[in-house]
Chains A and B, each alone.
Chain A
Amino acid sequence: MKLLVIEDDESHAQFILTGLREAGHTADRAKDGMDGLFLATEEKYDVMIVDRMVPKLDGLAIIQALRASGNKTPVLILSSLAKVEERIKGLKAGGDDYLTKPFEFGELLARIEALVRRGNSEQSEQTTLTLDDLEMNLLTREVKRAGTAIDLQNKEFRLLEFLLRRPDQVVTRTMLLEGVWDFHFSPNTNLIDAQMSKLRQKVDKDFKKQLIHTVRGAGYKISAKQD
Chain B
Amino acid sequence: MPSRIKKFFLSFSFRAGAVFFIALCTTLVGLRIQTYYRSLYISYADVRARIDAHASDIDQGISRYGAKYAEYLVHAILQDTSDKRLYLLFKDGKSLTGNLSAWPPEVDPKATWQDTFIAQPGGAPPLHLLVRITTYKHRRYVLLTGYNLERVDMLRNALLRVTISNVLLSLFMSFLISIIVVWMINRYLQGINRVAGRVMGGQLQTRVPVSGTGDQFDKLSANINSMLDWIVTLLGTVRDSTNAIAHDMRTPLSRHRLELRALADDATLPEKTREKIAAAMMRVDGIVEMFDDILSIARAESRSGAEMFAPFDIAETVSDVIEFYAALIEEKPLSLVSDLPAWPVKITGDKQLITQAIVNLLDNAVKYTQQKGHISVSLKELDGRIAITVADDGPGIPEQFLDKAKERFFRVDESRNTPGTGLGLSLANAVAGLHHGTLVLEDNHPGLRATLTLANEAVE
Could you list which residues of chain A lie within 8 angstroms of chain B, going by C-beta atoms? 9, 11-12, 15, 53, 80-85, 100-105, 153-155, 181-188, 190-191, 194-195, 197-198, 217
Contacts and interface: CB of A to CB of B under 8 A. Distances in A.
A185 B328 contact: no
B327 A153 contact: no
B299 A80 contact: no
Nearest first, the 9 closest Cβ-Cβ pairs linking A and B are A194-B327, A102-B254, A101-B254, A80-B250, A102-B257, A80-B247, A15-B258, A155-B323, A11-B255
Given A53-B247, A102-B254, A187-B359, A154 B325 contact: no
27 contacts: A11-B255, A11-B258, A80-B250, A81-B243, A81-B247, A82-B250, A82-B292, A83-B299, A85-B308, A101-B253, A102-B257, A102-B288, A104-B261, A182-B351, A183-B359, A185-B292, A185-B355, A185-B356, A185-B359, A187-B356, A187-B359, A190-B328, A191-B324, A194-B327, A195-B324, A198-B330, A217-B265
B328 A194 contact: yes
Given A185-B352, A188-B363, A155 B324 contact: yes
Nearest to A189: B285
Interface string B284-324: 11001100100110010000000110000000000010011
Grouping DSSP codes into helix (H, G, I), strand (E, B) and loop, the A interface class, with mixed when no group exceeds half, is loop
B308 A195 contact: no
A101 B247 CA distance: 9
Interface in B233-281: 243, 246-247, 250-251, 253-259, 261-262, 265
Contacts of A84: 308, 352
Contacts of B257: 102
B261 A154 contact: no
B283 to A, nearest CB: 12
A180 to B, nearest CB: 9
A115 B189 CA distance: 56
B246 A81 contact: yes
Nearest to B251: A80
Contacts, number: 95
A39 to B, nearest CB: 23
B323 A154 contact: yes
A190 B243 CA distance: 29
Contacts of B326: 153, 195, 198
B215 interface: no
A164 B323 CA distance: 21
B366 to A, nearest CB: 9
B80 interface: no
Q: Which of under 10, 10 to 19, 20 to 34, or 35 or more describes the interface residues of B? A: 35 or more
Contacts of A183: 324, 352, 355-356, 359
A154 B324 CA distance: 11
A16 B202 CA distance: 41
A80 B246 contact: yes
Contacts of B296: 185
B253 A102 contact: yes
A21 B323 CA distance: 40
Contacts of B292: 82, 185-186
Contacts of A15: 258, 262
A27 to B, nearest CB: 16
B327 A12 contact: no
Given A102-B256, A185-B359, 5 more contacts: A82-B292, A187-B359, A194-B328, A194-B331, A198-B326
A85 B355 CA distance: 16
Contacts of B355: 182-183, 185
A81 to B, nearest CB: 6
A66 to B, nearest CB: 23
A51 B261 CA distance: 20
Contacts of A53: 247
Contacts of A194: 327-328, 331
A155 B88 CA distance: 122
Contacts of A181: 320, 324
A101 B250 contact: yes
A109 to B, nearest CB: 13
Contact of B352 (A103, A104, A184): A184
A9 B255 contact: yes
A118 B259 CA distance: 31
B261 A105 contact: yes
Interface in B187-243: 243
Given A11-B258, A191-B325, A102 B363 contact: no
A85 B262 CA distance: 31
Nearest to B247: A80
